[in-house]
Amino acid sequence: MTRSPNIVWHKARVTRPRRETLNGHRSINLWFTGLSGSGKSTLAHAIEERLHLMGCRTYVFDGDNVRHGLCGDLGFSPEDRQENLRRIAEMVKLFLDAGIIALTAFISPLRKDRNMARDIIGQENFMEIYCNCPIEICEQRDVKGMYKKAKAGLIKNYTGISSPYEPPQNPDIEVLTGSRSLEDCVQDIVEALFQKGIIMRSGY
């Protein structure tokens, strides 16, 4: 619900379908969720690289990058996490209207918050990708030692340690990022985009 009075949404003459036709692909949101260290950002950027080489227009919204600017005023309380995702979802909605494939790499630990993002972005525009990786492997990958600090009580509200993570119950795609290679995971997701008609095989 907007708090700004007396505003009306302006309908552009250049529509999303026209932009998609110009781009040669449909726009979609690939929403990567998983524990810290599960490979969300690595996978999102690898897929963006693959799609870019195919001539697709893309953008990755990375959790840390977004908190440097758009969400720099937010912490990691449940309320701030929810607002962080709400802002991202609204931004993604604009990028989809621009005809862009938007990739979002956020822990997004709670189902209700991911459902909120899905509602904002639109069910038909939202592909939930669960990066399923055992927490033991995530800890091994943690070069910053964040899990260790969280276990020592130095970091509060750390997902998987002092804050819950609720795995998706019915993700659009589940990738086993703890056991499968990055290339295999990329291929699985790109193939899903072919199958859904988001991108065309002629560009591959």
Structural domains of the chain ordered from first start: 24-196 (3.40.50.300)
How far apart are the two ends of the chain, measured CA to CA in Å?
A: 41
How much is the average pLDDT of 14-42? 95
Catalytic residue among 27, 108, 181, 202: 108
Which range (30-34, 73-77, 79-83) has the least confidence? 73-77
Q: What is the per-residue pLDDT for 157?
A: 84
CA distance 203 to 55: 7
User: Which of 156, 160, 189 lies closest to 45 in space, CA to CA?
Assistant: 189
Quick one: what percent of the chain has pLDDT higher than 70? Answer: 88
203 confidence band (pLDDT: 50, 70, 90): very low
pLDDT for residue 193 is more than 50: yes
108 included as an active-site residue: yes
201 confidence band (pLDDT: 50, 70, 90): confident
